[in-house]
Amino acid sequence: MTHDSVFPFLTVLVLLPAGAAVVAALVPRNLSERTARLVVSGVGLAGTLATLALAITITVSYQAAGGGYRLVSRHEWASSLGISWHLGVDGISLFLILMAAVLFPLALVSSRVHHQRRAYVAWVLLLEAGCMGSFVALDLVLFFLFFELTLVPVYFVVAGWGFVRRGYAAIKFFVYTFLGSAFLLVGIVALAFIHEHQTGRLTFDLVDLTATHLGLASQVLLFLAFTASFAVKVPIFPFHTWSPDAYAEAPVAGSVILAGVMAKMGTYGIVRFDLTLFPRAVVDLAPLLLTLGVIGIIYGAVVAAATRDLKRLVAYSSLAQLGFIVLGTFALSTQGLSGSVLQMVNHGLIVAVLFIVIGFIYERRGTWQTSELRGLQRGAPVLAAVFTVGMMASIGLPGLNGFVGELLILLGTFLTHRWWAVVATAGVVLAAIYLLWAYQQAFHHEPDPQSPTTRDLSWREGLVVAPLVVIIFFLGIYPKPVLDRITPSVNLLIHRVETATSTHQPSVATGGSHPGTPVRVQVGGSP
């Protein structure tokens, strides 16, 4: 309907990596080994960097005022089914796109693949297309298509280039997430039919469906169906069992993308769809989700403290971090939600640094066991320093990006759900404990005989992690430009939730835009 831009930025954003994937898959096989490698790597880099350039253009040209969808493009796709190619971006998805666009080229470069480069690059590019599509789709079925499409490349990347138990991890990942999606699809269809019942038009368009009138019971059921799928994808506490296996067995790029980008598809789905479509159910069930988030924070931290395997440790710490994001989301205050959206980006960057560095360590030593790595700092001080930056950001050291996100989340949660915030704060302390423990064991102590001779970062490896480290510092010191773009959209969303449920967040959370309502007040009555 509306095209407020001449150039279809978002369509190109989705199709560009997909096209590059096809090109990479079609690189002729009769080339020499060396040429083929160069060509394939070239296609991979060119595809991901072009996407990054496009994402930067989108970010720069993004108009934050009002917080609505920008760069909307909308075409019929399967009209008899009511599915349209409807893409748009707002402050919530903007930086997720940018973060994904930054991570993909780095993930591609950081992983050394010794066989079937062509296929590997093609799958990673296809995965990028799927991720971008999920973040910009404004049609529920289109979102589902991309959401599910990402499973295929991840499956092949994990199963094809992973570690010892890759087959098991890949299938477990696929079946778990597919099972979650089963409920999502039924939920989407059910919502569309309720809408059709009311308006006589079958559509899966998010903007249209937002106007659907839903009773509380159906809101709760649909919310549960949607959230089941997102909870598996994030993963939220009881649905997390696939994630340590998948993260640990995946190759470096797989772990980076899984934890950095794809986990955000779950949290993004909650923000974009649950909060928009089912505000009353969200308010009613927020304590449940907050509790699960807090359990995730504590559980992840405790298990991470007990593990002696660096990769699994990061996997579990990631579970705890994602718990914070869930916490901030369901706090339903501007600060909490802004913090969550920011933390989605932060967590992607932090976990990428950690997984990439762990990948480098593995290339040198062939192990992730902290006990076998002792004293790594002796031979590889720069590598240790980069790991320290990632670790400190993960702990939430002021001046690094993790601090900003966690602080906003805890502040926002404290205003609306005090006790959950109190318990969650313990998670910050635990994170410091287990990460510093692991750091001590792996990097300090009496060096292992191999440690002093371990190579430090090469300039190429340094180039891979440098952008991430720079962004981590930048966001930690000056997050304003990012928050300025996130906040209008978050305000819009919170406002929608509040009008639909007649609840109000404390005025402090927004800087006083709702004067006279110091605590959450249930005005009563239903819209």
What is the Cα–Cα distance from 145 to 138, expressed in whole angstroms?
12
**143 vs 414, which CB is nearer to another protein?**
143
What is the Cα–Cα distance from 318 to 322, expressed in whole angstroms?
6
Q: Which of 69, 85, 104, 123 binds another protein (CB under 8 A)?
A: 123
**Is residue 53 within the footprint of another protein (CB under 8 A)?**
no
Q: Which of 1, 38, 53, 175 binds another protein (CB under 8 A)?
A: 175
Task: Looking at 374-510, list the stretches that DSSP marks H as alpha helix, in order from N- to C-terminal side.
Answer: 376-379, 381-395, 401-416, 418-443, 459-477, 480-501
What is the Cα–Cα distance from 298 to 163, expressed in whole angstroms?
28
**Is residue 235 within the footprint of another protein (CB under 8 A)?**
no
CA 3 to chain centre: 28
CA 389 to chain centre: 20
Residue in 398, 394, 384, 399 with CA at minimum distance from that of residue 431: 394
**Residue 84: helix, strand or coil by DSSP?**
strand
Residue in 341, 374, 144, 131 with CA at minimum distance from that of residue 253: 131
CA 92 to chain centre: 12
3-class SS letters over 455-484:
CCCCHHHHHHHHHHHHHHHHHHHCCHHHHH
**76 vs 484, which CB is nearer to another protein?**
76
Q: Which of 38, 53, 179, 422 binds another protein (CB under 8 A)?
A: 179
Q: Which of 1, 26, 429, 519 binds another protein (CB under 8 A)?
A: 26
**Is residue 283 within the footprint of another protein (CB under 8 A)?**
no
Instruction: Name the minimum Å distance from CB 80 to another protein.
Output: 5
**Is residue 62 within the footprint of another protein (CB under 8 A)?**
no
Of the candidate spans 51-59, 112-120, 436-444, 445-453, the one that interacts with another protein by CB under 8 A turns out to be 112-120
**Is residue 15 within the footprint of another protein (CB under 8 A)?**
no
Q: Which of 42, 75, 193, 480 binds another protein (CB under 8 A)?
A: 193
Of the candidate spans 32-40, 60-68, 422-430, 516-524, the one that interacts with another protein by CB under 8 A turns out to be 32-40
Instruction: Name the minimum Å distance from CB 196 to another protein.
Output: 8
Q: Which of 30, 418, 459, 523 binds another protein (CB under 8 A)?
A: 30
**81 vs 470, which CB is nearer to another protein?**
81
Q: Which of 50, 97, 108, 170 binds another protein (CB under 8 A)?
A: 170
Interior CA angle at 349 toward 333 and 433, to 5°?
80
**181 vs 451, which CB is nearer to another protein?**
181
**Is residue 171 within the footprint of another protein (CB under 8 A)?**
yes
Q: Which of 46, 56, 189, 407 binds another protein (CB under 8 A)?
A: 189
Strand partners, 390: none
**Is residue 168 within the footprint of another protein (CB under 8 A)?**
yes
Q: Write the burial class of residue 478 (CB in 10 Å: 0-12 exposed, 13-18 middle, 19+ buried).
A: exposed
**Residue 75: helix, strand or coil by DSSP?**
strand
Of the candidate spans 191-199, 378-386, 409-417, 455-463, the one that interacts with another protein by CB under 8 A turns out to be 191-199
CA 345 to chain centre: 7
**26 vs 216, which CB is nearer to another protein?**
26
**Is residue 201 within the footprint of another protein (CB under 8 A)?**
no
Of the candidate spans 185-193, 319-327, 402-410, 502-510, the one that interacts with another protein by CB under 8 A turns out to be 185-193
The neighbour count for residue 302, using CB atoms within 10 Å, is 14
What is the Cα–Cα distance from 323 to 269, expressed in whole angstroms?
15
Of the candidate spans 3-11, 158-166, 263-271, 323-331, the one that interacts with another protein by CB under 8 A turns out to be 158-166
Could you give phi then psi for residue 437, rounded to 5 degrees? -55, -55
**Is residue 164 within the footprint of another protein (CB under 8 A)?**
yes
Task: Report the site for another protein in 397-436 (rule: CB under 8 A).
Answer: none
Q: How far is CA 184 from CA 7, 222, 245, 258, in A?
A: 32, 8, 24, 20
**Is residue 178 within the footprint of another protein (CB under 8 A)?**
yes
The neighbour count for residue 77, using CB atoms within 10 Å, is 16
> How many residues make up the chain in this entry?
527
The end-to-end CA distance of the chain, in Å, is 29
**Is residue 44 within the footprint of another protein (CB under 8 A)?**
no
The neighbour count for residue 15, using CB atoms within 10 Å, is 14
**15 vs 207, which CB is nearer to another protein?**
15
Task: Report the site for another protein in 325-364 (rule: CB under 8 A).
Answer: 362-363
What is the Cα–Cα distance from 162 to 169, expressed in whole angstroms?
9
Residues making contact with another protein (CB under 8 A)? 21, 24-26, 28-30, 33-34, 37, 77-81, 111-116, 118-119, 122-123, 126, 141, 144-146, 148-149, 151-152, 155-156, 159-168, 170-171, 174-175, 178-179, 181-183, 185-186, 189-190, 192-193, 196, 251-252, 362-363
